[in-house]
Amino acid sequence: MGRPRSVPDDEVFAAILGLLAEDGAGAVSFGTVSKVCGLAPPTLVQRYGDRAGMLRAALEQGWDGVMEAGERIAATEETAQGYLKALSGVLPRGLIVASLADPEAAARAAEWRQSVERVLAAKQ
């Protein structure tokens, strides 16, 4: 008998962002996420409803993290070059491309871009 497993959303989202980075949005399914994070596909369906909901939740969490990191970096980096270099280390690979297919995530990407432009203008 298998033991019940509880995996926090953050771990599920990290698995999804990892799949996005390696193989793009087409690689994200209940089956592939299940293999990476260890939750059964029915549990993922129960949490997120459908594949689009699961992907959207991961993208939202990804953008939340990028925005928070960007604010911290902007407060500590004195130059535009330093800011961009530090920022490149917190942007998950695949996040921008995957966001283009989802209007809500695309809006978050645009919001992030505007925040980067504001910081760069202030550091010139």
Give per-residue pLDDT as tens, 11-26: 999 999 999 988 888 8
User: SS3 for the chain, per residue?
Assistant: CCCCCCCCHHHHHHHHHHHHHHHCHHHCCHHHHHHHHCCCHHHHHHHHCCHHHHHHHHHHHHHHHHHHHHHHHHHHCCCHHHHHHHHHCCCCCCHHHHHCCCHHHHHHHHHHHHHHHHHHHHCC
Please tell me whether the overall predicted TM-score, pTM, comes out greater than 0.85 for this model.
Answer: yes
**Residues 53-69: pLDDT tens digits?**
999 999 999 999 999 99
